[in-house]
Structure 1
């Protein structure tokens, strides 16, 4: 894992894929063939891989899945693996934001 192990997940329903669970599994397998490529932070990452699989399976009747839409829906529907996952997600941001706010207030 290039950026660490997942801390949050969104459990998708295979029956919401066009063609049901069989199509769900087949689409994941097809998208998996592209996983060997080098991923980067901004444009070709694990979110792009998931969006490709969702587009292939026409999840929820949609073929316009992308990493931005996926990110926003993960914020709404995602569940943290555990409390440590929550901390690993938000603690660094809290420290950086707190540091910036402290610098602005002190200046």
Structure 2
């Protein structure tokens, strides 16, 4: 994993794959991985969320072929589960600390 161990996951339901083939899930994951072997991942435009979205589009997960990294990210935020309390802390503690520093600076400057 490029950024360390996963801290959150969203367990998908294989019965939502729109196909008559029993191997549709595996085939879509394989085909998406073959496609991404030849692509350079980057943080903003073509990343791991895009890779997963391609697999979901290929398998027509939940009868949809409009999966993209934004939709996947949003739904992962809603339906994902943290692997542990530590995973939750790794995700949100830096943001909360940064927000606390910003608010402290704003309040300090405002009270002068």
TM (normalized to structure 2)? 0.89
1:29 is displaced (CA, Å) by 0.5
Aligned to 1:98, which of 63, 75, 100? 100
Aligned pair partner of 2:74 in 72, 75, 78: 72
- 3-state DSSP of counterpart to 1:11: coil
Deviations 1:2-25 (A, max 9, x none): 222211000001110112652111
3-state secondary structure, aligned to 1:94 = helix
Give how far 1:101 is off.
0.9
In structure 2, what is the Cα distance between the partners aligned to 1:27 and 1:43?
21
Gaps of 5+ in 2: none
Instruction: Find the aligned partners of 1:35 and 1:91 in 2 and give their Cα distance.
Output: 32
Q: Considering only CA atoms, is the larger Rg found in Structure 1 or Structure 2?
A: 2
- Cα RMSD between the aligned structures? 1.3
Normalising by structure 1, we get a TM-score of 0.93
TM alignment of 1:53-92, pairs within 5 A? 53-92=55-94
